[in-house]
Amino acid sequence: MANRARAEWDPLREVLIHRPGIEMFFGLTEPYSFLYERAFSIDEAIYEHTTLEHALTEAGVEVQRLKRFAVDVEAKHPDFLDRVRNAILGIVHYTGPKAMVERSKLALRRNLDRFDAETLFNFLLLRPSVHLERHPGYRIVLPEVRLEVPLANLYFMRDQQALSHGGFILGRMSKPQRANEPLLTGTLLKVGGCDIAGEVRPPGTFEGGDFMPMGSFALIGNGDRTNAAGIRQILAMPIGFDEVGVVHQPSHPAIPGNELDPMIDMHLDTYFNVPGEGLAVGCTPLLNAARVDVYHRHGRRGLVREPKTVSLTEYLKAKHFDVIPISTLEQMSYASNFLCLKDRHILAVEVEQEIDRVLATLAQSARADPRRYNGLLRLARRERAELSERNEFFPHLAALRDHGVEATPLGLREITGGYGGAHCMTCVLRRSS
């Protein structure tokens, strides 16, 4: 079947996910450098990921796990295995005494044919190299294994690519910590026979959390993770939309000096989403601050920018979307990072379980940089009190119910520590319109 996504609210048929494993442990050894928001329990995080998979299956969505998907691709395309083996020879390096290094290189080359597909996958996932140190005595060798940036964020399967109405847009990550992820996922999608609209090349960057198919148009976020060069390339691809709104990453008005903090609204889907046709959810201050450049298709000239720039709030109003507002604290607690299963049915993060940890992280930031974060912390604490008084936390909102939205809440309080919710953790393979 064709890989297409016309609108975020069209029925979700198939997704690709990655069940996190040992690579997550290495991410937790230095959460900041691995782009995690905070430390968390691996056991609980993996359990929560299984509940996400179960909820998808219960909703009738076909779920593919990345490792299993890779094994299937390798079984159907033996030549692909040769490419993987050659890639591993370029990843694994040996250092130490010359004779030992040569022996190890020869052994790896000889053993690659004996390794099963899962073992080969783990080479790509962990990216190990070995330093050898010889000591006196028979076979007294100290092998020090070093990992070159294991793919600790791979379970956020939204970001390496995005599905448009014309097929996959293969991305290029802006952070070196994640640079090798699209090399793995993009190659698997291409070899697996998926429809590809195009691939972002240097100097462009693009991450899938910045793309939203909206029926008659699409939105692309422009900011820290997706740059202007990447967007220009996407606008030239056959993505299947005659109108595209480029949404510039906004700064939060509670942060002084109009300073951008990419971790407040890293991707478009961290402050905006759509649970159904004609309906949006978003953080009002950010929607008001985000500026939209509108591109329309003009024959052979392709998508051409209109002269007027509007706010995202104004743009959505012109498109006749009702907007359900969420507080800044809910937005920072992954409220908008829900996954739409079909028109007015979503899988959403249970925000009430998130907010105290998010507040604690924000308080830590405010202690480190009070000028920048004290105002945001005061706002979040005030919103915490208001939410508690109303006893109405996303997704348990009267406004959602009034618009006919059925929300399935998921407890993801540990795994969101990596900075992302249900939307971030799913690569859409197919939606039906």
pLDDT at residue 5 is higher than 70: yes
CB contact set of 385 (below 8 Å; sequence gap of 6+) = none
pLDDT at residue 44 is higher than 70: yes
**Region 360-388 average pLDDT:** 97
Residue 307 CA to residue 295 CA, distance in Å, equals: 9
Choose among 254, 273, 403: nearest CA to 329.
254
In the chain the domains, ranked by start, together with CATH numbers, are 12-64+152-431 (3.75.10.10), 71-147 (no CATH)
Q: What pLDDT, on a 0 to 100 scale, did the predictor assign at position 134?
A: 86
Give the neighbor-by-neighbor strand order of the sheet with 141-147: 94-95, 128-134, 141-147
Q: What is the pLDDT of residues 257-300, one digit of tens each?
A: 888 898 899 999 999 999 999 999 999 999 999 999 999 999 98
Count of residues in the chain: 433
Cβ(357)–Cβ(37) under 8 Å? Answer: no
Q: CA 113 → CA 55, 90, 342, distances in Å? A: 38, 16, 44
Choose among 188, 129, 180, 172: nearest CA to 153.
180
Choose among 429, 405, 414: nearest CA to 47.
414
**Region 185-210 average pLDDT:** 97
Share of the chain above pLDDT 90, in %: 93
Kind and range of the H or E element at 112? none
**Region 381-404 average pLDDT:** 97
Between residues 134 and 97, the one the model is more confident about = 97
CB contact set of 373 (below 8 Å; sequence gap of 6+) = 255, 362, 365, 366
Q: What pLDDT, on a 0 to 100 scale, did the predictor assign at position 141?
A: 84
**Region 306-323 average pLDDT:** 98
Q: Which residue has the tokens 């329990």?
A: 41
Q: What pLDDT, on a 0 to 100 scale, did the predictor assign at position 265?
A: 96
Beta bridge partners of 248: 222, 291
Amino acid at position 108, single letter: L
Q: What pLDDT, on a 0 to 100 scale, did the predictor assign at position 156?
A: 98
pLDDT at residue 338 is higher than 90: yes
DSSP track, 127-151: -EEEEEEE-SSTT-EEEEEEESS--
Residue 218 CA to residue 249 CA, distance in Å, equals: 16
**Region 218-237 average pLDDT:** 98
| Distance of alpha carbon 125 from the chain centroid | 17
Residue 81 CA to residue 293 CA, distance in Å, equals: 44
**Region 424-430 average pLDDT:** 98
> pTM for this one?
0.96
Choose among 201, 210, 203, 197: nearest CA to 182.
201
Rg (CA), the chain: 23
Q: What pLDDT, on a 0 to 100 scale, did the predictor assign at position 139?
A: 81
pLDDT at residue 15 is higher than 90: yes
Task: Return phi, psi of residue 385, to 5°.
Answer: -65, -40
Q: What pLDDT, on a 0 to 100 scale, did the predictor assign at position 173?
A: 98
Confidence of residue 1 (pLDDT cuts 50, 70, 90): low
Q: What is the pLDDT of residues 68-117, one digit of tens each?
A: 999 999 889 988 989 999 999 999 999 999 999 999 999 999 999 999 88
**Region 341-361 average pLDDT:** 97
- What average pLDDT does the chain have? 96
